[in-house]
Each structure stands twice: as structure tokens, then as C-alpha cells.
Amino acid sequence: MAVSVAGVIEPTLQVAETARLAQRPTDDLTAYDLYLRAYAMFFTSARQIPEALRLLEQAIEHDPGYGPALAWASVCCVRLCMDGRSHDLEADSRKGADFARRSLQVAGDDPGVFANAALALAFFGEDIGAMMTLVDRALSLNPSFARGWYVSACLRHRADQPELAIEHAEAAFRLSPRAQVGFSFTIIGAAHFLSRRFDKAIAKLLLAIQEDPNYPPPYRFLASCYAHMGRLDEARVIVRRLRAITPLVAPSFSQIRNADHRELILTGLRLAAGEAE
């Protein structure tokens, strides 16, 4: 029976693998290998983002029209700036926006390129409404695209639509409960925080920190959350943990469109950081 089952499965796998290779958006096997290595690093640890970007830049040197590599490189630039690991914010912002625009020029109908480019360009200051339209296009091409739902959640969060952000992040998690496509718990926790549902925010943000203890954003929201609840000792502990992974405790949060929401985060962070001195 085992041999019979294997005899059915093995040809099916070969057909699937052949189809996957035929759809690969580059003929340069070196570029493809570099891309796969970088992709794996991206979701392993925030500390590996600089190395992932280096590999993606090598892939782009081999194939300058490699859309997915360009789009992921733009997201790596976002992470460097957001996480506090950039040595030159202005240069990395320019580079990230350039990678994203170049990826769209060669995107074809690739929903992954659309979604990642939209995420990056929104962070680097492009009109967020236009970027939400772009990710909506990605999801129209593939409604089961978990990464696309995650990116849509990120953009809704920044566009002052916390309920939609939660809905779309939960959709991403349902579609891909095992393979990580983003940091859905961070988005859900941040959205609850902005809606002042602090208890719900804490539960999700603690889960987010478990996903990647080196990823700064959930620490920032969690510290601010504790501070607004008057739990200053816990806020102080979170800020200390945050400072152990990045010197950037309180970024501008300029990508969040609602000024009241920005101030809510920053007020709590300032209180928590002051208490942590």
C-alpha cells in the first residue's frame, strides 16, 4: 500500500515542482538561491534583517529585474528604519522607496510584489489610500494570499481603521496559522491599543514578543499600554528590554495618520521611558 501511495504522490509532486520552477520570476539560479536564503532569514529574527538585505542586493545584482527580490529588499529597508537598525535613515529610506518602485515596474500580476511594494511605499510616505488600493489589487488576484491580508492589516492600522486592521490580520492568521507571513499579533495588539482596549492589547502584544523577541514594535506598544494603565513598574521593565535590542525607543510614528493615535503611543512611551531612566 505504501508503495502504491508513493507511486501516486511522487509524479504529482514532480508536476507541482516543475510548475513552480516554470513560474519562478528569474532564470538566474544564483539570484534565486540568494532570494530564498534571504526570505528564510527575514522571518527568523529581526537581527538578521541586515544580512537578508545584503543577500537580496546580491540577487538584484545578478538579475536587476527580479521583482520579488526588489520588493522584499524594500521591506528590509522598512525594517531597518523601523527597528532602529539603520545607520543612515535618509539613505535607507531612499533606497527602500527605489527598490519598491522598481519592483512595481516588473511586477506583472504578482500579488506578492504588489503587497510588499505597497507596504514599503506607504511607510516611506506615499499616499496610503493609493497603497491600500494596490494591496486590494493583490488580494483580487489571490484572495487566499495570507501575506496580502497581513499587509492590508498594516495599512489599515496606519490609516486609522483599527477594526479592519484586526479583521485582516486575523484573516492572514487563519490562512497561514503555521507559516509566518508577518506579525499579525503585533498589528492586532496595536489596533486594540489605539482603540484603548488595553487588556486585549496586552494579551496580543505578549504573544507578539514570543514570535520574535528581537522585533521592537510590540515592546513599544506594550510599554505605552502599561504606562497608560498606571502599571509603571511593568512599563519600565519592557522599556529596558526594548533598549537591549535597539537604541530607538520612541520613533516618530509618522506613518500613523491619526495625530491623536500618535500622541497616545508617544505619551505612554515617554512616561515609560522616563520611569526607566
Residue range 123-147, pLDDT digits in tens: 999 999 999 999 999 999 999 999 9
Q: Residue 217 has what pLDDT? A: 95
Q: Residue 277 has what pLDDT? A: 53
CA angle in degrees (0–180, nearest 5) for 113-117-120? 145
pTM, two decimal places: 0.86
What CA–CA distances, in Å, run from 134 to 81, 111, 122, 126, 176? 22, 9, 11, 12, 21
Q: State residue 61 phi and psi, 5-degree precision.
A: -65, -40
Answer yes or no: are the C-beta atoms of 130 and 97 closer than 8 Å.
no
Q: Which CATH architecture has domain 1-143?
A: Alpha Horseshoe (1.25)
Q: Residue 15 has what pLDDT? A: 40
Q: Residue 14 has what pLDDT? A: 40
Domain boundaries, given as residue ranges, for the chain: 1-143, 184-277
Residue range 71-114, pLDDT digits in tens: 999 999 999 999 989 999 999 999 999 999 999 999 999 999 99
Is residue 62 classed exposed, middle or buried when 0-12, 13-18 and 19+ CB atoms within 10 A define those classes? middle
Whether 1-143 shares its CATH topology with 184-277 is answered yes
- The stretches in the chain having pLDDT less than 50 are 1-23
> Is 2.40.10.10 the CATH classification of the domain at 184-277?
no
* Closest-CA residue to 66 (of 110, 22, 118, 96): 110
